[in-house]
Structure 1
Amino acid sequence: MTAPLRTERLLIRHWTLDDAEAAYKIYGSPEVARWITMKEVDDVSAMRSVLEAWVEAQPNLVPPAGRWAVVRLADNEVIGGLSLRLLPPFEEDFELNWQLRPDAWGHGYATEASRALIRWAFDQGLEEVFAVARPENKRAIATARRIGMEWVGETDKYYDGRRLQVFRYRPSDL
């Protein structure tokens, strides 16, 4: 993404190293970390190392792949992250995922940011976007439905055979 995306309440932009403390409030939160496949982040220093890798990798990713910070415009705080990446093991399907710090839950930010990113991804030529969630992750499943994603079934082909709910969004769903 060459320029940040804006919604009514949010800015979606590239991560920077200055975001380490804010990112740690997201990815270091036990409520968030339990649902994601990322290696555990124990402190701000570890989060800074993760961000260094993300920042370094970003220019080499072919759009629409990437990782972005979600900033609340009202107070300019980083409240979450979004990514579009190829799902393992075949790297054919693009996965949308979102993470928000727990105090930002319940305000529709994940839905708002995800819809904006999906529209941008479709403008880049992507034909469909998937989201996967563990069956017990009720919040993620509810968010996928609020985004407007269609449930397409369960699979264990992604992420080491873990059973996951699969949701899909296509341009015709806009």
Structure 2
Amino acid sequence: MTPTLRTERLLLEPYVPEDEEHFVALFQDTGVSRWMGDGPATEAEDRALFGRIFTKVYARDLFDVWAVRRDGLLVGHAELKPSDVVAGHEIIYALAPAVWGAGLGTELAEAIVAHGFGTLRLTEVHATVAAANLASLTLLDRIGFEHVRDIEEGDGSTTRVLTRRLRPR
């Protein structure tokens, strides 16, 4: 079961059905969706994705997926899930443009990584980021992720694979 996590300004908790409209609005924002998965999807595809969070991910307890809230409002999405691409667990996060530039991305990514290292007892956490997504690359570098390799995509773009390893105390 996806646990509830708290940071100084954010609450990460499982989605509830009432979040659907806000989830779809977040994923329909092209400033956000251009960096997610294969890029922008149709509204129907985003609604189906939201439904699968309940019918597949939560129902089978496959991995952690969070609604990210600030002051009670849904402002983002986060996941920590197994990925064949990185042969380990990958963090995924997105924030609404209205909250960009306030340091919430760093706070969110750190919370997900801490959950991976602490609760899940992972020794490393990965991220895959489009080479053109300089904001995420900068954020992840700042919190200790290191560039491991590049994946050349079929459309000619490059995806960076980054890893953060658990450091002994």
Check whether the contact 1:88–1:159 (CA below 8 A) recurs between aligned residues: no
Q: Distance in 2 between matches of 1:167 and 1:2?
A: 24
* Letter in structure 2 aligned against 1:51: F
The size of the alignment, in residue pairs, is: 167
1:119 corresponds in structure 2 to 114
Q: Distance in 2 between matches of 1:153 and 1:173?
A: 24
Alignment of 1:34-49 (within 5 A): 34-37=34-37, 40-43=40-43, 47-49=46-48
After superposition, the Cα gap between the structure-2 partners of 1:159 and 1:97, relative to the gap in structure 1 and judged at 3 Å, is: farther
Identical positions, percent: 28
Q: Distance in 1 between matches of 2:105 and 2:67?
A: 12
Q: What's the C-alpha RMSD, in Å, of the aligned pairs?
A: 2.6
* Letter in structure 2 aligned against 1:135: A
Alignment of 1:13-24 (within 5 A): 13-24=13-24
TM-score by length of 1: 0.82
Alignment of 1:4-153 (within 5 A): 4-37=4-37, 40-43=40-43, 47-59=46-58, 60-62=60-62, 65-72=63-70, 75-89=71-85, 92-123=87-118, 124-153=120-149
Check whether the contact 1:110–1:143 (CA below 8 A) recurs between aligned residues: yes
Alignment match of 2:167 (pick from 142, 167, 172) = 172
Structure 2: unaligned runs, 5 residues or longer: none
Quote the offset at 1:61 in angstroms.
Answer: 3.3
Check whether the contact 1:17–1:48 (CA below 8 A) recurs between aligned residues: no
Quote the offset at 1:173 in angstroms.
Answer: 7.8
Structure 1: unaligned runs, 5 residues or longer: none
* Letter in structure 2 aligned against 1:109: L
After superposition, the Cα gap between the structure-2 partners of 1:3 and 1:25, relative to the gap in structure 1 and judged at 3 Å, is: same
* Letter in structure 2 aligned against 1:37: G
After superposition, the Cα gap between the structure-2 partners of 1:161 and 1:96, relative to the gap in structure 1 and judged at 3 Å, is: farther
Quote the offset at 1:11 in angstroms.
Answer: 0.4
Q: Distance in 1 between matches of 2:50 and 2:12?
A: 16
